[in-house]
Amino acid sequence: MLKGIDPLLSGELLRILDEMGHGDELLLVDRNYPAAATGHPVVRLGEVGVVRAATAILGVFPLDEFLEHPLERMEVSDDASITTPEQDSILELARSGHPRPLDWGVVPRLEFYERARRAFAVVHTLEPQPWGCFILTKGVVFPD
């Protein structure tokens, strides 16, 4: 156990987040997502939803400041205008810690699966809400 670190962030997950470099992509996915099929490391968080997982991850993970959409979500029902409550919560959480205005990148479901092939790793939750799948692009940690 580490002081000041969310206990949800296991040693394995912290190692992965630390090893990621600027521009690397992390998948945060729901229980329905075929995480193992990506061929990338999978960290299974058990009975945790995506909002709780995002809260822990975004506490230590800088989103890319150079991209227009460093946070992307899977499109709901082939309609980019629809969001889920979980998606809305994660966007607000990300906005609270991002130095620039932040809005979604929306990725159609089949394109999301294609994009997943280049992810660095996958964080798998047991989120029951479909479309609880996100791509987080790591940014730079600037000196104080």
Backbone φ, ψ for residue 33 (5° rounding): -75, 135
Contacts of 63 (CB under 8 A, 6+ apart): 70, 71, 94, 97, 98, 102, 136, 137, 138, 139
* pLDDT digit string, tens, across residues 21-53: 999 999 999 999 999 999 999 999 999 999 999
Residue 16 lies in a domain: no
Q: How many domains does the chain fold into?
A: 1
Residue 77 sits in a domain of what CATH number? 3.40.1650.10
Candidate list 22, 40, 98, 124, residue with the active-site label: 22
Q: At what angle do helices 50-58 and 85-97 cross, to 10 degrees?
A: 10
Domain-embedded: residue 93: yes
Query: Would 6 be classed as within a structural domain?
Result: no
Is residue 22 part of the annotated active site? The answer reads yes
Q: Residue 124 is part of which domain span?
A: 24-137
Task: For residue 3, tell me if it sits in a domain.
Answer: no
In a domain, 144, yes or no: no
What pLDDT digit, counting tens, does each position of 46-101 carry?
999 999 999 999 999 999 999 999 999 999 999 999 999 999 999 999 999 888 88
| Separation of alpha carbons 60 and 55, rounded Å | 9
- Whether residue 130 is contained in a domain is answered as yes
